[in-house]
Structure 1
Amino acid sequence: MPTKITLGAFHTLGVGAKWYLTEDPMRYLDLQHWIDTVKGYEEAGLDFVFFADSYGYPVLHDHVIPLAVERGIQFPAADPTVLLTALAATTDRIGLVTTVSTMIEKPQTVARRFATLDHFTKGRVGWNVVTGSGQSASALLFGEELTAHDDRYARAEEHVQLSLELWEGSWEDDALKVDAETGTFTDSSKVHEVEHDGTFFKARGVLTVPPSPQRTPTLFQAGTSSRGRQFAADFAEAVFVAAEPDTVTKQIADIRDRLEANGRGRDAISILAAGTFFVAATHEEAVAKREAAVGRTSLEDAAVLYAYFTGLDLMSMDLDKPLAQTNSDQGQTNIDRFSGKDGAPALTVRQILEEFQRNSVMASPFVGDPIEVTDQAIAYIEATGADGFLLQPEVAGGQDDFLEFVLPELRRRGVLNESQPGLTLREQLFGAGNNRLPETHPGAAFRKNSIPA
C-alpha cells in the first residue's frame, strides 16, 4: 500500500484531441471556465494543476501539416502563463504549474516572471522546464535552426543554473528592510550582483524581485530520454512519466539511481505517472466510454500527432517494419518508447500508429467501476514506485469521472496526499517546512549568508 498518493490535473490551453465531442470546443479561451475548473480541483483536494505549453504544432518538411489544422490536432493553442494570476486570485491551496521552454525565454525573463508569480500565489507556483515540444515548428516560427537534442539539454542546464543564481543568489534572506523611519528599503550590502559568462547566456546584475516564499519555483520536468532523466536527476523536484508499467518501473529506478549518485537522495523527486481513467458506475459503462473515445481517431490522425512529438513521418514508412529512424532532434522520448530501449518491445510502424490511435503519448488507461479502477491505480503505484498521477483529460472519461468515482474511494482507503491550506507547492509535495530548495539541490550552492528558511 502506498503511503500517500499525489494528484495533479493536466491541461493545455487548446481545443483538445476530442473537441468534436465537447459541447463548447472554444471554452479553452473562456477565463471563467478555467477559474471554475481549477476551483473545483482545489475543492476536491488535488495537489496541483499543470498547464502544458509549446509554441510548436505538427510540422513535416518545414510546413504545418494541413490535416493538423483541419482536425484540430495540437492546434490551435493559447498561452497558459497569463492564466496564473487569475487562478492565484481565486484559489488559495492548489499548486499552479506551467511550462516555459529554455529554448524560447531567457533565464533573466523566466526568473523575474516566476519570482513575481511566486509572490502572487503565496508560494504555489511551479515551473515545468522543457527544451521544447513541437520543436521544428517552434524553430521555424522564430526563424532559427533546429538545435540538436543533446545541445538543447546543454542549453537547458545552463538556463536553469543562471535562473537559480538569480533566485537564490541575488538577495540575502534579511536584505529587505522597508524601514520608513531610517528611509532604508533594502540593505544594499545584502543584495549581490550575479555574474555569469557561459556558453549560451551572459549576465551581470541583480534580480529586482525581492525573495518570494519559495525563492525558486518548484521545478518540474517531463523528458524521459536518457539525457532527460539525467537532467531530472540534476535539477528536477517533480517528474512526469508516461509509459506502460514495466517501462515506467525501469525509468523510475534509473532516475532514483541517478539522484543517489548526485547526492540528492532517492526521494528528492516526486514522480507522477500520466493516468487516463475511464470509470463509471459499472464496468460495462466504463468500457463503452473507452470505446467512444477511441472510435473517431484515424491512423492518419495518429501519424500527425506522432510527427508533432518526433518530427517523423510514419505514413511514409513501411507500416509492417520497425521505425526506419531511431533518432530525432525534435524529440526522443516517443522514439525510445517504441524502439526497444529501456526493455520495451520494438514495435512496427503500424503498431506504433495503432498505439497512438488508442492512447496517444499515454500508457494504457485504467478502465472499470470505481473499485476496479482504484485497485488498478494502487497496484500501478506499488508496482512502479511512482508517487502519484497526473490526471489526463478525456471527453468520454477522465478528470471529472476520476473526481466523482475514484477520489472518494482513495480517500476512504486513506492513501491521498490531501492539499493543505497555507503550504507552498514544495511543502505540499515534500512536507511542511520544506518551502525552500533543500541543501542537497545544486541551487542551494548559490545562497549567500542566508538565514535558515
Structure 2
Amino acid sequence: MTRITTKKLAIGMFQNGRARQTWAMSGREDESNYTDLEYWTELARKCEAAGADFLFLADSYGYPTLNDTVIPTAIERNVQFSTVDSQMLMSALAAATKTLGLVTTVSTMVEKPPMVARQYRSLDHFSKGRIGWNIVTGSAQAGSALLFGEPLMPHDDRYALADDHVQLSLKLWEGCWDDDALIRDSATGIWADPAKVHEIIHDGPFFSSKGVLVTPPSPQVTPTLFQAGASSAGRELAATYAEAVFLAAESKALAEQIADIRGRAEAKGRGRDAIKCLIAGTFRIAESEEEARAAHEAQIAGISLEYAAATYAYFTGVDLLSFDLDRPMPASTAKTDNGRTNVERFLGPDAPTVREILEEFRANGVMGKPFLGTVEQAVDQALALIEETDADGFLVQPDPDGSHDMFFEKVMPELRRRGVIKDELPGATLREHLFGEGCVRLPDSHPGAAFRRTGVLV
C-alpha cells in the first residue's frame, strides 16, 4: 500500500486519573483499577514496550456542575467524577520505566508557579529528563472554583493569568542556575558557586516573586511544554510557549487550528515547526468494518442523553438539556467562562441542533470520530487525516474496555510496517523523543531561553 505521509509520527497515549467504565461490566467490579498503583505501572510498562513517545495523564480538580452544584448524573454514572491525583503517580511511573515520556496536567489556576517549578524539576530529575507539563487553565473550572472557594475567573483573564504563570515558571527554571553553577566539590566543601545562582524578580499582573528555585537544574532544565485548548486564547498561549499541543475536532477545523497555531508561532519568531500538533486518535478495530461499526454503535447505545449532557457540562458549563433540542445552541453560550473549545466548535452558520450536539457527545465525546474498521482501514483513515491537517502525530484514546491493548497489538505494528513511526526513540529525554537527539533544552527561539544567564531578571 502506498504510504500517505512521510513523517515519523509522535505517538502519545492518553489516560486520565479517573475510574474506567469497566467497573460497570458484569464480573469485573473487583479488577485492578485506577486506585491501584499496579494498574498505572503496568500501563506505563505496556506503553514503553510498544514504543510510544509518552504517556499523558490528564487531570482536573473539577467535576460536572450546573447552577453551582454537582450534577447528580455525574455521581450516579461516574461522568468525569471519581479521580486520583495524577501528579502523585509520576515518581512511581518514572521508576517503573526507562525511556517512556511522562506528561501530566497542572492547572495554572490552582498551583502557584514556584510549586509547579519545583514539582516538575524534581520529577525531571527522578525520570532523567522524561517529564512534560500540560499547561491548562482548568477543565470543569466552575466545579474547581467552587471547591477552592474562589469566584469563577472570566475565560480570557484565566489565559492572561496563565501567561504570567508560565513567565514566572520559566524564569525560575531557566534563570536561577547557570549551567556550571553546581560544583559539589567535597575537597573544598563548595556545593555551588553563589555568583552563578541568581535570585529572580518577577512583578507581573497576577504573580510576584523574588527568590531562587533551590532545586538544581535537571536534564531538560525546563520540562517539555504541552498545551490543550483550541479557543483563540488557547491557541495564542500555545503559539507563545507550547512545544506540543493536543487538538480534537473534525478534519477541516483541525486543519484550520493547526495552520493558525503554526502561523502564530512563526510570527513570534519560533518557526512553523516549533510545535508538534497531536490530534486525538480513537481506533475501533475489528475483523471487518461491519463488526467494528456494530461494536461502536452498541457502545453508543449504552450512553444516555443525560450522560452526554453531563459530559458536555463538564467541559463547558453549559446545560444543553435546558435548550430546545431541535434548534441550534444559543449564540450567547459563546460567552461562557468555562471551556470554550467545545462551545465554539458548535456555533456558526452551519451550527448543528442541540440534539445533534448531544448525539455527537454520545458517540465521540470531545475526541472526534473514531478511525473505524479493520486495522488496515483504520490506519488508512488515520494517515489520511494527518495528510489533510498537517498534524505531527496522535494522542491515542483508550480502547472501549479502557485499555490500549488493541492499539498496541494491532495498530502500532501496522504503523511500524508502513514506516511512519520511529523504530526507536531518539535521545534519552522527552524533548528529544519529539524533536530529535540532542534537542535536550528549550531552543534559543523559545521565549524561555531569554531568561538564561542574565542574573537578576525583571
TM over 0.5: yes
2:9 counterpart (5, 20, 24): 5
* Change beyond 3 A, Cα 1:400–1:289: farther
Task: Show the counterpart of 1:278.
Answer: 284
CA shift for structure 1 position 33: 1.0
Query: In the alignment, is the contact (CA less than 8 A) between 2:426 and 2:433 conserved in 1?
Result: no
Note if 1:443 corresponds to 2:431. no
1:337 aligns with 2:345: yes
Q: Deviations over 1:227-263 (max 9, x none)?
A: 1001100000000000011110010000011011011
Secondary structure of 2:33's partner? helix
The 8 Å contact of residues 168 and 202 in structure 2, kept in 1 or not, is answered as yes
1:387-398 equivalence runs, <5 A: 387-396=392-401
Indicate yes or no: 2:251 matched with 1:252: no
Structure 2 counterparts to residues 105-184 of structure 1, below 5 A: 105-184=111-190
After the TM superposition, which residues 18-417 of structure 1 pair with which residues of structure 2 at under 5 Å, given as runs? Answer: 19-21=23-25, 23-24=28-29, 27-324=33-330, 325-340=333-348, 345-396=350-401, 399-417=404-422
**Cα contact 1:235–1:442 (8 A) shared by 2:** yes
Distance 1:213 1:432 in 2: 13
CA distance in 1 between counterparts of 2:403 and 2:386 reads 18
Q: Give 4+ residue runs of structure 1 displaced > 4 Å after superposition.
A: none
Please report how far the alpha carbon of residue 182 of structure 1 lies from its aligned counterpart in structure 2 after TM superposition.
1.0
Say if 1:219 and 1:255 are closer, same or farther in 2 by CA, change over 3 A.
same
Aligned to 1:57, the other structure's residue is in SS state coil
Structure-2 separation of matches of 1:196 and 1:182: 34
The structural deviation recorded for 1:19 is 4.4
Q: Tell me which amino acid in the other structure corresponds to 1:15.
A: A
Moved more, 155-164 or 404-413: 404-413
Partner Cα separation in structure 1 for residue 128 and residue 434 of structure 2:
15
Letter in structure 2 aligned against 1:2: T
Aligned residue for 1:203, secondary structure, equals strand
Tell me the distance in 1 between the aligned counterparts of 2:85 and 2:424: 26
Contact persistence 1:327–1:335 (CA under 8 A): no
Q: Are the equivalent residues in 1 in contact too, given 2:416–2:422 (CA < 8 A)?
A: no
Distance 1:95 1:21 in 2: 31
Q: Does 1:423 align with 2:431?
A: no
One-letter code aligned to 2:340: Q
Deviation at 1:397, TM superposition (A): 8.0
Q: What amino acid does structure 2 have at the position aligned with 1:346? A: A
Identify the range of structure 1 (15-24 vs 226-235) with the bigger mean alpha-carbon deviation: 15-24
1:372-408 Cα offsets, whole Å, 9 max, x none, are: 1111111111111010100111325872211111111
SS of the residue 2:209 aligns to: strand
Which stretch has the larger CA shift, 290-299 or 176-185?
290-299
Return 9-18 or 210-219, whichever deviates more: 9-18
Give the match's secondary structure for 1:56: coil
- Provide the rounded CA distance (Å) in 2 between the counterparts of 1:449 and 1:43: 42
Distance change in 2, residues 1:383/1:19 (3 Å): farther
Q: Distance in 1 between matches of 2:283 and 2:311?
A: 21
Deviations 1:71-110 (A, max 9, x none): 1100111101111101111100010000000000000000
Length, aligned pairs only: 447
Give the Cα separation in 2 of the matches to 1:130 and 1:339.
Answer: 23
| Distance in 2 separating the partners of 1:418 and 1:62 | 50
Q: CA deviation at 1:26?
A: 6.2
Moved more, 238-247 or 387-396: 387-396
- Once residues 32 and 341 of structure 2 are traced to their aligned partners in structure 1, the CA distance between those partners, rounded to angstroms, is 30
**Partners in 1 of 2:280 and 2:386 — Cα distance?**
12
Report the Cα distance in structure 2 between the residues aligned to 1:20 and 1:418, rounded to whole angstroms.
Answer: 38
Matching residue's letter, 1:54: S
Do the aligned partners of 1:2 and 1:378 also contact (CA within 8 Å) in 2?
no
Percent of residue pairs bearing the same amino acid type: 57
Distance in 2 between residues matched to 1:441 and 1:13, nearest whole Å: 31
Question: Secondary structure of 1:27's match?
Answer: coil
Give the SS at the match of 1:29.
coil
Alpha-carbon deviation of 1:220?
0.4
Residue deviations 1:391-442, cap 9 Å, x none? 1113258722111111111111111034427510001000011100000000
Alignment RMSD: 1.5
Q: Quickly say closer, same or farther: Cα 1:106–1:30, change in 2 above 3 A.
A: same
* Cα drift, residue 292 of structure 1: 2.6
Q: Distance in 1 between matches of 2:405 and 2:249?
A: 22
| Cα distance between partner residues in 2 of 1:363 and 1:432 | 33
The alignment partner of 1:185 has SS state of strand
Structure 1 position 4, deviation (Å): 0.5
Instruction: Please report how far the alpha carbon of residue 147 of structure 1 lies from its aligned counterpart in structure 2 after TM superposition.
Output: 0.2
Q: Is the 8 Å Cα contact of residues 171 and 200 (structure 2) preserved in structure 1? A: yes
How far apart are residue 285 of structure 1 and its match? 2.7
Conservation of the 8 A alpha-carbon contact between 1:46 and 1:419: no
- The one-letter code matched in structure 1 to 2:69 is H
Verify the 8 A CA contact 2:399 2:406 in the aligned structure 1: no
CA 149–19 in structure 1, closer or farther in 2 if over 3 Å, else same: farther
